[in-house]
Amino acid sequence: MDSALPLSEGEPSARARYTARRMAPLHTALRTAQKLRTGARGALLWGYEQRLAREVRAHGKLPRHLGLILDGNRRFARASGMQRELGHSFGADKAHEVLQWCLELGIPAATIWVLSTDNTSRDPKEIAHILTLLEREARLLAVDPRIHQNRVRVRAIGQHSDFPPNVLAALRELERSTEEYSGMRLNIAVGYGGREEIVDATRAYLCKRAREGATLEQVAGELTPEHIGAHLYAADQPDPDFIIRTSGEIRLSGFMLWQSVYSEYYFCDVYWPGFRRVDFLRALRDFQDRERRFGK
């Protein structure tokens, strides 16, 4: 999807500009990695990462739906001596990087938790920065060649009614541009809370039955977990079977409370912007070594 503005001869399209922007950090990272490999420690880490990648691919068992709690942006910024808003910027870039890792392995679905309903009470300046990033990243994803080449369907889940119109427009355009795709499913949980999702699902079911003429007593008598589950934000996707949280915090904080009843969890000490491919592969290998019991 190119820019709506007319282009003069030789002027790059929006997609080309996007690709150049995204490739610049990748080229920098590659040069850094090449320098690291010249040292013994760098060579060992590189070799370990490659071995992990081979093991994960050889095993074959991967999550059908991966949940990612992106935690530690502000602490990363503080530890790095930078303004806290920059931590969110680095976190947004990391999310693009992790999307690439998921595509390379063929993970069918992923939900990334960007902003919780609890976080919306933070400093208004910080929230404004996060929403600005959200709009920018939504517009970039809408022209991301990886999204269209891999036919990734993107959906924003959560409560968005209080978002600025420009942010809502960017999210709707992203969803519209990918709604026909049948490849990987990518859910961006923003303005999201697990309790709020359950309330919204229950309300949607009650309203549906009311339109059908059912009484409250009838609805109460027939209500099952399946009725609620069918009205969750991403009801057409499997429950997450593996959830990774960064930053060392050992809790879900409300992430997909209904769907995570049988999920496997992995808590990683590194802050989200510092989450490396080797950390990602370690988590997946840990998942592959587990025997899922589903509460039995």
Contact 102, 184 (CB under 8 A): yes
Per the annotation, does 209 bind a ligand? no
Is 253 assigned to a binding site? yes
- 202 assigned binding-site residue: no
Known binding residue 166? Answer is no
d(CA 52, CA 195): 37
Helix (H) or strand (E) holding 83: none
Indicate the Cα dihedral angle 162, 94, 245, 100, nearest 10°: 110
- Residue 116, annotated as binding a ligand: yes
The structure tokens listed for 169 are 């427009």
Is 187 annotated as catalytic? no
CB within 8 A of 71, min separation 6: which ones? 245, 246, 247, 249, 271, 272
| CB contact at 8 A, 112 and 188 | yes
Is residue 57 annotated as involved in ligand binding? no
Residue 105 and residue 264: Cα distance in Å, rounded?
19
2 is catalytic: no
The catalytic position among 2, 71, 166, 239 is 71
Please tell me the distance from the alpha carbon of residue 171 to that of residue 138, in angstroms, as a whole number: 6
Half-sphere exposure in the Cβ direction for 85 (13 Å, CA): 12
Residue 150 assigned to a binding site: no
Any known ligand binding at 251? yes
Residue 96 contacts residue 22 (beta carbons within 8 Å): yes
Amino acid at 167: V
Residue 72 annotated as binding site? yes
Q: Any binding-site annotation on 71?
A: yes
Residue 267 marked ligand-binding: no
Percent composition of the chain: helix, strand, coil (DSSP 3-state, to 5): 55, 10, 35
Q: Is 84 annotated as a binding residue?
A: yes
Catalytic residue among 2, 93, 119, 150: 119
Is the CB of residue 258 less than 8 Å from the CB of residue 198?
yes
264 annotated as ligand-binding? yes
The answer to whether 252 is annotated as binding is: yes
* Of 171, 185, 191, 176, residue with least CA distance to 234: 185
Active site amino acids: 71, 119
Q: Indicate the annotated binding residues for substrate.
A: 72-76, 84, 88, 116-118, 122, 245, 251-253
Q: Indicate the annotated binding residues for Mg(2+).
A: 71, 264
